[in-house]
């Protein structure tokens, strides 16, 4: 993997896009994970204003500490970087009290609240983006965005640009190493941080990112009959999640109205 060329391309792309959009730079939500750390670093490398926001919602201390370790590290390296914390727990608690229903009647409530956290963060990023004339930088990678759809629609999927959406997760880790990110970020176990209890991405999906990448790279060229053992298990996971995520992956459908009816 030619990390230097990829880095240069993304940074140049971000600079050009900001110039065409006539904005000052980018705002990125920093979670303490590798994706947001890589994206925020690439945005910082543009030399444009880069606002990093840590947005805790019932967050565990490890995630908060990693996020701030990364943000402080970037502030030391780049004079164009600013970092703030916006505590969204009080706002979420109000929503929780307003929305709360009986779990036995609505078994999807926990997932709905997990997605509500992501959507509250999206709202926050767009608020700070607008008042600072910044675009919201997306942090989704290729497996999450176009493979299994492991993101929240209009949450972390609600962004202006997606700098690393053509990179697999393992490639994001390679970039993190080449960009010399803090060790805690490079070694962090992928997790979305949307649940009260600790849930890693692997636990939620049922497969590792390297396993999913193998299937995605072969998607459309091989069928279920070509796999066996663990590969077959992961193929079925990928197939199920990919089908269920088409409403997130595909553009919003529009009902066409015949011209003669107008």
Contact 213/169 with Cβ under 8 angstroms?
yes
CB-CB contact of 175 with 167 (8 Å): yes
DSSP 188: P
Whole-model pTM: value is: 0.93
Instruction: Output the pLDDT for position 103.
Output: 84
Question: Residue 244: which pLDDT band, with cuts at 50, 70 and 90?
Answer: very high
Q: What is the mean pLDDT of residues 21-49?
A: 97
Evaluate if residue 41 carries a pLDDT over 90: yes
The proportion of the chain whose per-residue pLDDT surpasses 90, expressed as a percent, equals 90
CB atoms under 10 Å from CB of 5, counted, come to 9
Q: In this predicted structure, what is the pLDDT of residue 100? A: 86
**Mean predicted confidence (pLDDT) in 98-114:** 91
Condensed to tens digits (0 to 9), the pLDDT of residues 155-164 reads: 999 999 999 9
Please tell me the least confidently modeled range out of 22-26, 190-194, 251-255. 190-194
Average pLDDT over the chain reads 95
User: Could you tell me what percent of the chain has a pLDDT over 70?
Assistant: 100
Let me know: does 28 contact 83? Beta carbons within 8 Å: no
Q: What is the model's pLDDT at position 197?
A: 79
Residue 120: pLDDT band with limits 50, 70, 90: very high
What stretches of 45-163 show up as alpha helix (H) in DSSP? Answer: 61-77, 89-99, 109-132, 142-146
Phi, psi for 158 (deg, rounded to 5): -90, 90
In this predicted structure, the answer to whether residue 261 has a pLDDT above a threshold of 90 is yes
pLDDT > 80? residue 85: yes
Residue 188 sits in a domain whose CATH number is 3.40.50.620
Note down the domain range covering 139: 3-261
Task: For 188-210, write each residue's pLDDT tens digit.
Answer: 888 888 888 778 999 999 999 99
Expressed in angstroms, the distance from the first to the final Cα of the chain is 53
Count of domains observed in the chain: 1
Give the count of alpha carbons within 13 A of 167, CB side only. Answer: 25
Helix (H) or strand (E) holding 50: strand 49-54
Q: pLDDT grade, residue 104 (50/70/90)?
A: confident
d(CA 81, CA 70): 12
The predicted structure's pLDDT at residue 59: 87
């Amino acid at each position: 993997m030619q990390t230097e060329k990829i880095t240069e391309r993304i940074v140049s792309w971000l600079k050009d896009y900001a110039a065409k959009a006539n904005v000052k730079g980018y705002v990125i939500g920093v979670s303490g994970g590798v994706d947001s750390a890589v994206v925020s670093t690439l945005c910082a490398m543009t030399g444009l204003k880069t606002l990093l926001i840590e947005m805790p919602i019932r967050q565990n201390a490890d995630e908060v500490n990693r996020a701030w370790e990364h943000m402080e590290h970037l502030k030391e390296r780049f004079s164009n970087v600013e970092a703030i914390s916006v505590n969204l727990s009080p706002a979420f608690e109000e929503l929780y009290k307003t929305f709360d229903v009986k779990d036995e009647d609505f078994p999807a409530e926990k997932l709905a609240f997990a997605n509500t956290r992501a959507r509250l963060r999206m709202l926050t990023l767009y608020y700070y983006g607008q008042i600072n004339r910044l675009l919201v930088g997306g942090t989704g990678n290729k497996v999450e965005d176009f493979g299994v759809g492991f993101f929240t629609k209009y949450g972390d999927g609600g962004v202006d640009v997606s700098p690393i959406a053509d990179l697999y997760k393992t490639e994001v880790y390679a970039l993190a190493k080449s960009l010399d990110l803090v060790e805690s970020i490079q070694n962090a176990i992928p997790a979305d941080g949307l649940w009260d209890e600790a849930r890693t991405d692997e636990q939620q999906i049922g497969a590792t990112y390297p396993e999913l990448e193998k299937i995605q790279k072969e998607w459309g060229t091989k069928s279920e009959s070509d796999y066996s053992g663990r590969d077959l298990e992961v193929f079925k996971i990928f197939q199920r999640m990919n089908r269920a995520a088409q409403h997130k992956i595909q553009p919003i459908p529009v009902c066409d109205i015949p011209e003669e009816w107008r």
